[in-house]
């Protein structure tokens, strides 16, 4: 596991001024470490502001190859081709990107039962207060359900590694794409 951590100060009780420090793992480092532990060797992406530095870390990682696509449906096709070719592949996009790849998702990845892990920054979620992303967040879960695309929203109070392992295992065992919607603290280096 990466040595990078961040600290959060906690007040030790009502009226007390004692400050304790709880050391928490750096979630993006944990995410990258877990992808490597699970033998993901290829990452395909259409960059997003939250994903930027994580993508640089992947690109500089000796055990992973990063492919940057020009649009989401191209990224999906590359990721599916790599997976069919035997490379355990993760697709990294913004949540709205999943909606733009709808036809490719249902006619390629889902139809041919490609076990693809999709990590999506969940822009416009209740934890993302940027006003112009709110419409994206509002429609994300209903659209994923309508497409029949299996998904989960990362719980910020639980370790990221176990959630990532569960998502990857589901994709493999179901032979279907699985979307893990992630907050800024999960992916922003």
DSSP assignment string, 50-73: TTHHHHHHHHT-TT-EEEE-SSHH
pLDDT in tens, 53-98: 999 999 999 999 999 999 999 999 999 999 999 999 999 999 999 9
Strand partners, 122: none
CATH number of 26-187: 3.40.50.970
Q: Report residue 3's pLDDT band, with 50, 70 and 90 as the boundaries.
A: very low
Q: Nearest-CA neighbor of 189 among 55, 12, 42? A: 55
**CB half-sphere exposure, 16, CA atoms < 13 A:** 8
The answer on pLDDT for 4 being more than 60 is no
Q: Report the distance separating Cα 65 and Cα 73, nearest Å.
A: 19
pLDDT in tens, 94-137: 999 999 999 999 999 999 999 999 999 999 998 887 888 999 99
Question: What pTM, to 2 d.p., does this model score?
Answer: 0.87
Whether 64 and 35 have beta carbons less than 8 Å apart is answered as yes
The three-point CA angle 55-56-61 to 5° equals 95
pLDDT in tens, 13-69: 555 556 656 667 899 999 999 999 999 999 999 988 999 999 999 999 999 999 999
């Amino acid at each position: 596991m990466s040595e990078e951590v961040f600290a959060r100060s906690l007040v030790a009780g009502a009226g007390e001024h004692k400050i304790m420090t709880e050391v928490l793992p750096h979630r993006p480092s944990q995410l990258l470490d877990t992808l490597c532990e699970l033998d993901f060797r290829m990452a395909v992406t259409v960059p997003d502001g939250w994903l930027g530095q994580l993508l640089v870390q992947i690109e500089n990682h000796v055990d992973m190859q990063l492919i940057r696509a020009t649009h989401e449906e191209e990224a999906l096709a590359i990721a599916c081709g790599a997976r069919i070719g035997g490379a355990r592949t993760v697709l990294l996009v913004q949540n709205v990107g999943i909606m733009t790849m709808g036809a490719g998702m249902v006619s390629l990845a889902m139809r041919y039962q490609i076990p693809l892990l999709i990590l999506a920054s969940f822009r416009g979620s209740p934890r993302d207060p940027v006003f112009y992303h709110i419409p994206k967040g509002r429609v994300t879960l209903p659209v994923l359900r309508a497409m029949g695309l299996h998904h989960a929203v990362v719980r910020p109070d639980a370790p990221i590694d176990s959630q990532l392992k569960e998502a990857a295992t589901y994709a493999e065992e179901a032979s279907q794409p699985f979307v893990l919607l992630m907050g800024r603290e999960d992916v922003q280096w």
